[in-house]
């Protein structure tokens, strides 16, 4: 096993006073080893498990009630108060206020979406879409990146790296280009990244390393390279990333007037989001700031179904932290040996070996969670419904809506439940998938979607092709308007 410790010589003077109020702790209850907040470890040195950022809440000033967050912020002149991450600083207090880095992340929307609710099978008013596409780099990743980047700056990192299916890399590249504080080094698999995302990394000036293979290969390599060269790693093995991602749920609660929904539904790839949501709710509940925890549904693409397989089919559980590594490692080895690669049109979640697997099991336990898998056909139909009834999203985000619909049909979600589907990324991240679905160009459909088992675009909105003739154009508009 590769041990990843940030080399001493690459750490600069810590910009803030380090106290023991915030620290890092191994997630394995039998270990629980702690580390100082200014250290950089991607796993526990004693037992190899992931770390959490943890706090001595008794010694911290926490809000008495969540409604305290209502008095401020968007009008404040202080960029950190306006940040949708740092305005909840007291719930992720690992750095001092002067150390916080922001590029304007987290100004996102909780959209009520009745037409999507109808599609899913929920009552009017029952479905909200948490739209994360309004982040500066167009996906939820900026929430976590604000926190990881802050930590990287705290420890004096000069270079930061990630492997990515495209959004983490776009986010890291954006933080580096806006702040000019670090160089971004990104690892991507060949042909495995949507062009919208690749164009961001290139335009923001990231050092882009494309390797033969997929995300799982790139992830393995970037860990090795980061360890060897002392580069700060910002993938979600980094516990600070997950601190920032907790704020997605804080904003959901705030959008609902601090009422807890019945369900939060989220796509699962590397399982950072689901893990961080579980941590957010655990902490809010322990602090007495919410009185119940919502249920969590994590949605895998059928072509990248590790969590579904191990959780639903094999029945693997967190079991209070009695971590069973053998079935997981065995399954990963089996996937590698059989050459079975993740394959889905939702390239953002095309991942076979999620790094946050155990943290996600813990979140599922805390949130009485379920895992569901959806086909690429279901993902694209769900995405088209989001587009027609909301701000649109990239394919991976369509998985939340497709998953909610399936769980509704299975009777797991009730028609009267209050459900929040997280839309993780902007529609324009992957225009090829959207155009292939709608346009009616058979060659494009077959190349991008047909090879993934998508048979038809049920909700296609075709362009109407007309000669450049006024009468024919008017006629076409009239007849199409009537048809709709």
Q: Which two tokens stand for residue 58?
A: 């008794």
Measured from the CB atom, the residue of 66 and 234 that comes closer to ligand F0G is 234
In angstroms, give the least distance from the CB of 262 to ligand F0G.
Answer: 21
Alpha-carbon distance of 395 to 301, in angstroms, equals 10
Alpha-carbon distance of 421 to 261, in angstroms, equals 11
In the three-class reduction of DSSP (H, G, I as helix; E, B as strand; rest coil), residue 141 is classed as: helix
* Interface with ligand F0G (CB under 6 A): 139, 141, 164-168, 236, 267-273, 348-349, 394, 396-397, 424-425
In angstroms, give the least distance from the CB of 275 to ligand F0G.
Answer: 8
Measured from the CB atom, the residue of 53 and 396 that comes closer to ligand F0G is 396
In angstroms, give the least distance from the CB of 216 to ligand F0G.
Answer: 11
In angstroms, give the least distance from the CB of 177 to ligand F0G.
Answer: 17
Q: Which two tokens stand for residue 336?
A: 């590698």
Measured from the CB atom, the residue of 106 and 267 that comes closer to ligand F0G is 267
Measured from the CB atom, the residue of 323 and 393 that comes closer to ligand F0G is 393
In angstroms, give the least distance from the CB of 150 to ligand F0G.
Answer: 19
**HSE (side-chain half, CA atoms, 13 Å) at 207:** 10
Q: Spell out the residues 6+ positions from residue 251 whose beta carbon is closer than 8 angstroms to its own.
A: 84, 106, 108, 110, 130
Measured from the CB atom, the residue of 126 and 268 that comes closer to ligand F0G is 268
Rg over alpha carbons for the chain, rounded to the nearest Å, is 22
Backbone angles phi, psi at 321, to 5 degrees: 100, 10
DSSP state of 34: E
In angstroms, give the least distance from the CB of 197 to ligand F0G.
Answer: 7
Measured from the CB atom, the residue of 182 and 265 that comes closer to ligand F0G is 265
In angstroms, give the least distance from the CB of 109 to ligand F0G.
Answer: 16
Residue 101 near residue 175, CB atoms below 8 Å:
yes
Alpha-carbon distance of 227 to 221, in angstroms, equals 10
Measured from the CB atom, the residue of 299 and 407 that comes closer to ligand F0G is 299
Where are the extended beta strands (E) located within 336-457? 370-374, 419-423
The DSSP line for 194-230 is -HHHHHHHHHTT-EEEEESS-HHHHHHHHHHHHHHHT
Measured from the CB atom, the residue of 383 and 405 that comes closer to ligand F0G is 383
Residue whose tokens read 């804080």: 250
In angstroms, give the least distance from the CB of 196 to ligand F0G.
Answer: 11
In the three-class reduction of DSSP (H, G, I as helix; E, B as strand; rest coil), residue 445 is classed as: helix
């Amino acid at each position: 096993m590769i041990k990843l410790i940030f080399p001493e010589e690459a750490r600069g003077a810590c910009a803030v006073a380090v106290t023991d109020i915030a620290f890092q702790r191994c997630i394995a209850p039998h270990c629980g080893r702690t580390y100082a907040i200014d250290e950089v470890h991607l796993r526990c040195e004693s037992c190899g498990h992931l770390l959490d950022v943890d706090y001595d809440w008794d010694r911290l000033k926490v809000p008495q009630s969540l409604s305290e967050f209502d008095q401020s912020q968007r009008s404040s002149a202080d960029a950190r108060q306006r940040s949708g991450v740092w305005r909840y600083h007291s719930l992720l207090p690992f750095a001092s206020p002067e150390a916080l880095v922001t590029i304007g992340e987290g100004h996102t929307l909780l959209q009520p979406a009745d037409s999507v609710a109808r599609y899913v099978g929920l009552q009017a008013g029952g479905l909200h879409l948490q739209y994360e596409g309004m982040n500066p780099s167009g996906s939820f990743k900026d929430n976590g990146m604000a926190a990881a980047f802050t930590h990287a700056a705290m420890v004096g990192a000069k270079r930061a790296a990630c492997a990515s299916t495209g959004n983490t890399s776009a986010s890291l590249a954006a933080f580096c280009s806006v702040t000019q504080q670090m160089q971004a080094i990104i690892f991507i698999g060949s042909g495995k990244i949507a062009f919208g995302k690749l164009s961001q990394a290139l335009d923001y000036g990231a050092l882009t390393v494309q390797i033969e293979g997929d995300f799982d290969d790139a992830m393995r390599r970037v860990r090795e390279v980061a360890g060897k060269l002392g580069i700060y790693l910002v993938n979600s093995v980094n516990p600070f990333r997950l601190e920032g991602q907790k704020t997605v749920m804080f904003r959901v609660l705030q959008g609902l007037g601090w009422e807890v929904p019945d369900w939060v539904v989220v796509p699962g790839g590397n399982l950072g989001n689901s893990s961080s949501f579980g941590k957010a709710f655990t902490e809010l509940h322990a602090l007495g700031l919410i009185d119940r925890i919502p249920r969590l549904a994590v949605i895998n693409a059928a072509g990248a179904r590790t969590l579904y397989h191990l959780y639903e089919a094999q029945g693997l559980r967190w079991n209070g932290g009695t971590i069973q590594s053998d079935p997981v490692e065995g399954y990963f080895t089996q996937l590698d040996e059989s050459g079975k690669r993740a394959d889905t049109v939702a390239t953002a979640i095309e991942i076979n070996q999620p790094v946050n697997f155990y943290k996600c099991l813990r979140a599922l336990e805390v949130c009485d969670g379920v895992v569901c898998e959806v086909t690429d056909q279901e993902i694209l139909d769900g995405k088209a419904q989001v587009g027609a009834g909301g701000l649109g999203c990239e394919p991976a985000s369509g998985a939340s809506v497709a998953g909610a619909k399936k769980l509704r049909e299975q009777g797991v979600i009730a028609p009267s439940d209050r459900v929040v589907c997280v839309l993780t990324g902007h529609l324009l991240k992957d225009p090829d998938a959207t155009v292939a679905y709608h346009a009616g160009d058979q060659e494009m459909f077959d190349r991008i979607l047909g090879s993934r088992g998508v048979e038809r675009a049920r909700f296609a909105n075709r362009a109407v092709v007309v000669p450049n003739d006024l009468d024919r154009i008017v006629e076409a508009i009239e007849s199409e308007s009537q048809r709709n």
